[in-house]
Amino acid sequence: MGTSAAVFALKYLGQSIPENYLSHPKFKSINGYIPIVLLSALIGVQTFSEKTKLMIDHRALGLGVALLALMLRAPFPIVVISAAASSALLYHFT
Look at residue 53 and give its three-state secondary structure: strand
User: Which residues, in sequence order, are bridge partners of residue 50?
Assistant: 53
Check whether 70 has a pLDDT greater than 90.
yes
Q: Read off the pTM.
A: 0.60
pLDDT in tens, 37-59: 998 898 888 888 888 888 888 88
CA distances from 93 to 20, 65, 68, 87 (A): 56, 17, 22, 10
Please, what is the average pLDDT of the chain? Answer: 89
Using alpha carbons, select from 64, 62, 55 the residue that is nearest to residue 89: 62
| Mean pLDDT, range 15-21, rounded to an integer | 83
Burial 21-44 (b: 16+ CB within 10 A, else e): eeeeeeeeeeeeeeeeeeeeeeee
Check whether 1 has a pLDDT greater than 80.
no
